[in-house]
Amino acid sequence: MLAAARAAMNDAIERWANPSSPHAEGRAARAALEDARARVAAALGWTGELIFTSGATEAIRIGLTRTKADAVLVGATEHDAVHRAAPKAFFLPVQGDGTVADHALTGRLGALGAERPLVAIQSANNESGVLQPLDSLIPIVRGKGGLIFADCAQSAGKLPLPEADLISISAHKLGGPPGIGALLVRDLGDLAPEGGQEKGYRGGTENVPGALAFAAALEASRAWLKRAEDLRAHLDGAIEAAGGQVVARRSARIPTIASYRMPGMAASAQLIQFDMAGIAVSAGSACSSGTLKPSHVLAAMGWDERDVAEVIRVSFGPDTTRSDVYRFVDQWKRLAGEAKARAA
Ligand code: PLP
């Protein structure tokens, strides 16, 4: 969490009151909440509606379950939160490089024959970092009279937002606190209302400290992203030179995430070894309660199950330094060398 976000949160907690209360303290909290809403929208360059939620998962759930669309189509590599919110949705395949092809989208929309389909395609993938070509996909959806939902949990605040109708965002992915996020909505008329807060589109006491910290995080400098890009490029090269495999190496990727395969060593064993060396990495999607389940993302990209089991995921944040990366590479080479010796 960025220092500016921590400071904003602590300050707001000192002044906490329920923004739905009519007393002076409540009115002040309401004003602070609306200030946070305007600042988050401005920082993102968003001119439509903004509903604060508890994070991207809730934003996705509201967007996909309250939609008035007559059919829902979701990308095969979407986050579990998307697949769970729309269990009956039609699937959109990805190519080996992790992206949705124009012709696949056109074909599925044609086969669906819906009048107003909702298509969920994420901006950046949370395992591979692959960026979907939304600039070319969105006009295809619009051409069929459809709406586009872009899960931007990984890219918001780092890259410009796509021209989508609905967008999910999570503050803890951009230096803000956990427990706050947003659903951006171009036209509230596309969603059925539910709940007593947030213009009737969400229920529950508003998280004013979280919203103010979210705004502060978005307003903080993004200079570290350039460093992350350099460090990721260095790491990609070092891993390849040491006999590893970079997931989606040739695809456009967000610089904050990468996945690497170490031939001959299970991801679970790598995780333990890296953890013992004081290095925190993940395997699979790692989002669900400490479980390591096989990656549906790599499977959708056509990866063999045995290879998938050897892939770990690495994230770069504002505090990641060059020496962190060197240390990681040293450990990676040591483990890969051990795996190779065992196989020989
Ligand atoms: N979508 C993507 C792409 C994510 O990476 C995540 C979190 O890992 C989510 C959705 C869920 O976000 P949250 O933790 O804010 O519910």
Measure the N-to-C terminal CA separation of the chain; round to a whole number of Å: 44
For residue 294, what pLDDT is reported?
77
Identify the CA nearest to 100 among candidates 303, 313, 307, 297. Answer: 297
- The band of 284, judged by pLDDT with boundaries at 50, 70 and 90, is low
Helix or strand holding residue 151 (H, E) = strand 147-151
Instruction: Look at residue 35 and tell me whether its pLDDT is greater than 90.
Output: yes
Question: Whose alpha carbon is nearest atom 9 of ligand 1?
Answer: 56
Q: What's at 313, amino acid-wise?
A: R
Residue in 130, 170, 256 to alter for ligand 1 test, most ligand atoms within 8 A of Cβ: 170
For residue 286, what pLDDT is reported?
46
Residues framing ligand 1 (Cβ under 6 A): 55-57, 79, 81, 122, 126, 151, 153-154, 170, 181, 287
Pairing of β 90-92 and β 117-120: unpaired
At 51-90, the pLDDT tens digits run 999 999 999 999 999 999 999 999 999 999 999 999 999 9
**How many Cα atoms are found within 13 Å in the side-chain-facing hemisphere of 159?**
20
Query: Active site residue: 287, 292, 299, 329, which one?
Result: 287
Distance 341 CA to ligand 1 centre (A): 38
**R_g over Cα of the chain:** 21
Write the DSSP assignment of 62-115 as a string of letters. Answer: HHHHSB--SEEEEETTS-HHHHHH-TTPEEE---TTSPPPHHHHHHHHHHH--S
At 142-188, the pLDDT tens digits run 999 999 999 999 999 999 999 999 999 999 999 999 999 999 999 99
For residue 344, what pLDDT is reported?
85
> b or e along 267-300 (b: 16 or more beta carbons within 10 Å of the residue's beta carbon)?
bebbbebbeeeebebbbbbbeeeeebebbbbbeb
Residue in 1, 126, 159, 183 to alter for ligand 1 test, most ligand atoms within 8 A of Cβ: 126
Cβ within 8 Å of residue 318, ≥6 positions away: 2, 175, 224
The CA distance from 181 to 255, in Å, is 21
Counting from 1 in the atom list of ligand 1, the atom nearest the Cα of 124 is: 3
Residue in 152, 168, 287 to alter for ligand 1 test, most ligand atoms within 8 A of Cβ: 287
The CA distance from 324 to 114, in Å, is 50
- The band of 289, judged by pLDDT with boundaries at 50, 70 and 90, is very low
CA 289 to chain centre: 17
Cβ proximity of 174 and 1 under 8 Å = no
For residue 338, what pLDDT is reported?
95
Distance 57 CA to ligand 1 centre (A): 6
Distance 242 CA to ligand 1 centre (A): 31
The CA distance from 115 to 146, in Å, is 7
Distance 200 CA to ligand 1 centre (A): 23
Question: Whose alpha carbon is nearest atom 2 of ligand 1?
Answer: 153
At 203-247, the pLDDT tens digits run 999 999 999 999 999 999 999 999 999 999 999 999 999 999 999
Q: What's at 40, amino acid-wise?
A: V
The CA distance from 40 to 34, in Å, is 10
At 101-121, the pLDDT tens digits run 999 999 999 999 999 999 999
For residue 287, what pLDDT is reported?
45
Q: Give me the mean pLDDT over the 18-26 stretch.
A: 96
Catalytic residue list contains 287? yes
For residue 295, what pLDDT is reported?
87
The whole-chain average pLDDT of the chain stands at: 95
Instruction: Look at residue 288 and tell me whether its pLDDT is greater than 60.
Output: no
Distance 79 CA to ligand 1 centre (A): 7
Counting from 1 in the atom list of ligand 1, the atom nearest the Cα of 58 is: 16
The CA distance from 277 to 323, in Å, is 14
Cβ proximity of 189 and 147 under 8 Å = no
Counting from 1 in the atom list of ligand 1, the atom nearest the Cα of 171 is: 15
Distance 183 CA to ligand 1 centre (A): 12
Give the global pTM. Answer: 0.96
